[in-house]
Amino acid sequence: MRFLFPGFLFALLAIAIPVIIHLFNFRKFRTVYFSNVRFLKSIDQQTASRRNLKNLLVLAARVLAITFLVLAFARPYISNDKSAGTSRRVASIYIDNSYSMEGVNREGTLLDEARRRAKEIAAEYSLNDKFQLLTNDFEGKHQRLLSYEDFLNAVEDIRISSATRDISQVIARQNDIFASEPEAGKSIFLISDFQQNLLQTKNIRVDSTVAVNLVRLKSNPLPNVSVDSVWLISAIQKPGEAGRVVARLRNNSDREAQNIPLRLSLNGQQKAIGNVSIAPRATQNDTLSFSGLNAGWKAGEISIQDYPVVFDDRFYFSFNVLPHLRILAINGAAANPYLQAVYRSDNYFILENSSAGNINYSGLGDHSLVILNEIPEFSSGLIQQLKSFTERGGNLLILPALEADPSALTALLRALDTDTPREVITGEIRVSAINLQHPVFKDVFETVPQRIDLPAVKSYLRYTSQNQTNRQSLLSLPGRQEFLSEYRLGKGRIFLSAVPLTEEASNFVRHSLFVPVMYQIALLSSQPQRLYSVLGRDQAVEIQSTSLKANQTLTLRKDKFEAIPDLRRSGNITQLYVADQIKDSGTYELLKGDSLLSYVAFNQSGNESDLSYASDQELNSALPGANIRIINSADGAVKSAVESANLGLQLWKLCIILALFCLAAEILLLRFYKVQTARAEVYEAL
């Protein structure tokens, strides 16, 4: 048995007070005369023995009452672990400050209750003990020990955060602080509502000598609908045309959500509205159409009305509407008239022509699509530049020169990792198959006729069929020969044709498929845009290639908030590393000086939206081998649980009960213990 405040044991000297009173009883006796001394001796012997017994019992009751009272102030306890009773203790207290802690109960918000519980825990420690305060933000200030007063001040500064952590990350941080205090008694406190997402990881290892206390907070059950994700129907948006955006909504409750209002805004202007009903624990997609697009970056927002859980009612995204799509045609001879007719009929396409011997390599990256039109020879420099262009995300359309030496084209296609030319075949043949599932033919046909008219071919270049290539057929010839096929290299696409765009090779240039195929190949050259990033998960955001001058930086800005991200280049990829600088969801402006480069949208993780909570069994299973105590704060047992966790079995209440029992015994002895028998004998003797 140990004592929390052993200094109070000096008060046991007070036991001397009733002992002295008992030894020096200065009570005056009255003299009584008897006629017969023999009878007087018998009376004295009988009454003295009974009086002495009563006095000894009263003395024992008084001594025990004082002893138990002193022990109660000394706080005796029987420790249940090795850390109890150490001269210094360290408590690591984690307060969950995620969005779900905005839930309410009769105590107010869960975060307010968590603050109070943390203060109750700290109050049960002594002045020499230290505390670590940990939240989901994982800031540098959370990696140091605090005194009691500093801890109370830090608790008051905790605010709701968009960051989320799982239980393994939290305990790993707490173990880090314990490593600096090897001799101290250690305790872990996790104050949370313990959503299911807190247990995302398994096999969490905790030292069995460290007491793990899980303080569960419970909120009132609430329905919740959240915006799960957003995407655009079309990968490319053209100025002046209508667009469509799909919003996926999730019902996180066990009852149906009916007629949830839905609104789409672009650059702060409302573009579309709708409403949606969702079955319990289900998702529902809703398509919103908008029009009146002009060129430039757009900051989009999908919002719903879902009171009282509102932290996940807004979803942000951004995209760029390009004013033009630039195409470069590298010609082996003269410019192709059919390419001119197709792309110059639409102001959205800007077609530039260049000869094979006069190529501006530095300007290749300014184009989305490069067309190699019957080039007879390829230099090693051009091959390397075209490969780099494709890997960065540019698209290539290769139209072969049937009269040229196939070996020149072979060198290029080997570098691009595609099939290579084999021989030129002359003879009437017709395209036999069309791959309607390919994106090139998306929305081309309203209805597909049973006997579709396909292009006729007079002469074509046969390619080898190598199994290791990632070929995808668009149009096929009989005998498993390719007329038009697609390959992937890096982030780009390679479209390989078996014929040049001439009437001598085929009637493809006058076929009804020619215009939509060429349009779709050009539109597919526009890389899909990343509409948003997720806070806490996406540490890097890929952006367009950007060069900075000396002492020049990029800035992310939203309202009065500004952050300077780290710009890194890896090969042909340019990325912004935001780390934990961005904490709030929303759309941020990416600025280079005072000029706007793009919008970057950030959203919170959808984990917090699912208001499902882990059971006690799941919590125990998540921490195998740990010394776990689950505390239900609604029972008001946090204080006693902390005392038990720190000290083991406490005996001070028992001491108080025993002290009161001894005082009651003294009162009963003084009240009811009478010396009657001796007087009766006197009367008989007389």
Eight-class DSSP state of 14: G
Q: Quote the pLDDT of residue 180.
A: 81
Q: Quote the pLDDT of residue 227.
A: 92
The residue among 546, 545, 566, 559 whose CA lies nearest residue 587 is: 559
Take residue 156 and report the two structure tokens written for it.
């008051």
Q: Quote the pLDDT of residue 149.
A: 92
Which SS3 state, helix, strand or coil, does residue 102 take? helix
308-312, 493-497, 544-548: which has the minimum mean pLDDT?
Answer: 544-548
238-252, 287-301, 481-495, 611-625: which has the minimum mean pLDDT?
Answer: 611-625
Residue where the block lists tokens 């309607």: 436
The residues, ordered by sequence, that sit 6+ positions from 628 with a Cβ below 8 Å of its Cβ are 212, 213, 214, 619, 620
Is the separation of the CB atoms in 431 and 497 below 8 Å?
no
Q: How far is CA 497 from CA 347, 512, 577, in A?
A: 26, 17, 40
Is pLDDT of 650 > 80?
no
User: Which residues, in sequence order, are bridge partners of residue 429?
Assistant: 457
The residues, ordered by sequence, that sit 6+ positions from 449 with a Cβ below 8 Å of its Cβ are none
Q: Quote the pLDDT of residue 297.
A: 92
Sketch out the chain's domains with CATH numbers.
Answer: 2-79+651-685 (no CATH), 89-221+617-643 (3.40.50.410), 325-524 (3.40.50.880), 533-603 (2.60.40)
CA–CA separation, 618 vs 410, rounded Å?
Answer: 61
Is pLDDT of 34 > 80?
no
Residue 680 pLDDT grade (very low, low, confident, very high; cuts 50, 70, 90):
very low
Q: Establish how many alpha carbons lie within 13 A of residue 685's alpha carbon, considering only the half-sphere containing its beta carbon.
A: 16
CA–CA separation, 604 vs 567, rounded Å?
Answer: 23
The residue among 98, 82, 88, 103 whose CA lies nearest residue 170 is: 98
CA–CA separation, 611 vs 351, rounded Å?
Answer: 54
CB atoms within 10 A of CB 43: 16
Is the separation of the CB atoms in 249 and 284 below 8 Å?
yes
Residue 287 pLDDT grade (very low, low, confident, very high; cuts 50, 70, 90):
very high
Whole-number percent of the chain with pLDDT over 70: 89
Which SS3 state, helix, strand or coil, does residue 277 take? strand
The mean pLDDT of 16-43, rounded to a whole number, is 64
Is pLDDT of 677 > 60?
no
Q: Quote the pLDDT of residue 682.
A: 44
Q: How far is CA 657 from CA 75, 78, 167, 643, 665, in A?
A: 13, 18, 42, 19, 12
Asked if residue 308 has a cis previous peptide bond (ω within 30° of 0), the answer is yes
185-199, 457-471, 632-646: which has the minimum mean pLDDT?
Answer: 632-646
CB atoms within 10 A of CB 279: 11
The mean pLDDT of 217-225, rounded to a whole number, is 85
* Helical axes 406-415 vs 380-391, angle rounded to 10°: 40
Q: Quote the pLDDT of residue 30.
A: 61
Residue 686 pLDDT grade (very low, low, confident, very high; cuts 50, 70, 90):
very low
Q: Quote the pLDDT of residue 375.
A: 92
Q: How far is CA 509 from CA 21, 336, 354, in A?
A: 125, 11, 21
Q: How far is CA 155 from CA 112, 127, 148, in A?
A: 10, 17, 11
Q: How far is CA 198 from CA 121, 136, 190, 614, in A?
A: 22, 11, 11, 8
Buried b (16+ CB within 10 A) or exposed e, 624-641: eebbbbbbebeeeebeeb
pLDDT digits (tens, 9 = 90+) for 40-85: 555 555 566 777 777 888 888 888 888 888 888 887 767 655 544 4
DSSP 119-151: HHHHHTS-TT-EEEEE-TT--GGGGS-B-HHHH
Is pLDDT of 93 > 90?
yes
Residue 647 pLDDT grade (very low, low, confident, very high; cuts 50, 70, 90):
low
Is pLDDT of 675 > 60?
no
pLDDT digits (tens, 9 = 90+) for 177-194: 888 887 787 888 999 998
pLDDT digits (tens, 9 = 90+) for 5-19: 778 888 888 888 888
Eight-class DSSP state of 195: B
Is pLDDT of 604 > 80?
yes
Q: What is the CA radius of gyration of the chain?
A: 43
Burial class (CB in 10 A: 0-12, 13-18, 19+), 503: exposed
Q: How far is CA 561 from CA 136, 450, 581, 593, in A?
A: 21, 60, 10, 16
DSSP 544-606: ------TT--EEEEETTEEE-PEEEEETTEEEEE-TTS--S-EEEEEEETTEEEEEEEEE--G
The mean pLDDT of 530-538, rounded to a whole number, is 84
CA–CA separation, 63 vs 91, rounded Å?
Answer: 39
pLDDT digits (tens, 9 = 90+) for 402-460: 888 888 899 999 999 999 998 999 989 999 999 988 888 887 777 777 778 899 999 99
Buried b (16+ CB within 10 A) or exposed e, 406-432: bebbeebbebbbbbbbeebbeeebebe
CA–CA separation, 342 vs 513, rounded Å?
Answer: 12
| C-alpha dihedral, 173 to 175 to 180 to 185, nearest 10° | 130
CA–CA separation, 287 vs 303, rounded Å?
Answer: 14
Residue 309 pLDDT grade (very low, low, confident, very high; cuts 50, 70, 90):
confident
The residue among 219, 194, 197, 196 whose CA lies nearest residue 628 is: 194
Whole-number percent of the chain with pLDDT over 90: 31
Is pLDDT of 24 > 80?
no
CA–CA separation, 346 vs 491, rounded Å?
Answer: 26
Which SS3 state, helix, strand or coil, does residue 412 take? helix
CB atoms within 10 A of CB 125: 20
Is pLDDT of 539 > 70?
yes
The mean pLDDT of 320-346, rounded to a whole number, is 90
225-232 and 243-251: which strand pairing? Answer: antiparallel
The residue among 124, 139, 142 whose CA lies nearest residue 185 is: 124
Residue 250 pLDDT grade (very low, low, confident, very high; cuts 50, 70, 90):
very high
Q: Quote the pLDDT of residue 429.
A: 92
Amino acid identity of 471?
R
Q: Quote the pLDDT of residue 293.
A: 86
CA–CA separation, 149 vs 142, rounded Å?
Answer: 15
Is pLDDT of 663 > 80?
yes
Q: Quote the pLDDT of residue 266.
A: 93
Is pLDDT of 38 > 60?
no
Q: Quote the pLDDT of residue 649.
A: 67
User: Which residues, in sequence order, are bridge partners of residue 562?
Assistant: 557
Is pLDDT of 537 > 60?
yes
The mean pLDDT of 544-550, rounded to a whole number, is 75
Mean pLDDT over all residues of the chain?
84
Which SS3 state, helix, strand or coil, does residue 181 take? coil
Task: Tell me the Ramachandran region of residue 235: left when phi exceeds 0, alpha when psi lies from -120 to 50, beta otherwise.
Answer: alpha
Question: Which range scores top for mean pLDDT: 67-76, 124-133, 292-301?
Answer: 292-301
Which element (helix H / strand E) includes 495?
A: strand 492-497
450-459, 489-498, 523-532, 656-665: which has the minimum mean pLDDT?
Answer: 523-532
Question: Model's pTM, two decimal places?
Answer: 0.74
